Amino acid sequence: MSKNTLRLFDIAQDYLKVFDDLMAMDDLPAEVIKDTMEGMAGDFEEKAKNTAAYIQNLEAEARAIEDAEKRMKSRKQSLNNQAKRLKDYLHSNMEHTGILNIKSPEIVVKIQKNPPSVVIVSENSLPNAYKITETITKIMKTDIGKALKSGVDVPGARLQPSTRLVIA
């Protein structure tokens, strides 16, 4: 295996082994030891610089991904808001014109009735049978809705019909 393909760890191990081997030789001139170690240090330093540059590249890529995630999250919210506004706009105009159903081979747009929703007009007027008292008062809208649908008069509540836009 050539030194160019050695891992940083291998180069460091070789460096220390060569240093120990050179130091064990008694008659070796100091200049030879210095030149040999400088040459090996150059290999280690080059590999270390390349490794550090790769680390910087990975960190920069991770930051870029994080920035892209933030932009995409913001864009997602913006697109959802725009779709909601356009849906409300289309819904309102379809009801206003009385055109409640549009069909084509590509898409179906229609105004569809929702089940009536319970509107609490006055929480204080609701009978206790429709309240659960905890640390806070929770209105039992489902039970109120069932009662109102079955014809029971619930003071403080009424059924309100509504519609929603369906795109299929």
97-129: per-residue pLDDT in tens? 999 999 999 999 999 999 999 999 999 999 999
Mean pLDDT over 141-156 rounds to 96
Angstrom distance (rounded) from CA 48 to CA 51: 5
Q: What are the start-end ranges of the H helices in the chain?
A: 8-24, 30-97, 141-149
Q: Give the count of beta carbons closer than 10 Å to the beta carbon of residue 111.
A: 17
Q: What is the mean pLDDT of residues 1-12?
A: 65
Residue 153: how many CA atoms within 13 Å on its side-chain side? Answer: 2
Q: Which two tokens stand for residue 67?
A: 């920035």
Which pLDDT value is given to residue 4? Answer: 53
Asked whether 94 and 112 are in contact (CB, 8 A), the reply is no
**Tens-place pLDDT, residues 21-80:** 777 777 877 777 777 777 777 777 777 777 788 888 888 999 999 999 999 999 999 999
CA diameter of the chain: 111
Q: CA–CA separation, 33 vs 21, rounded Å?
A: 10
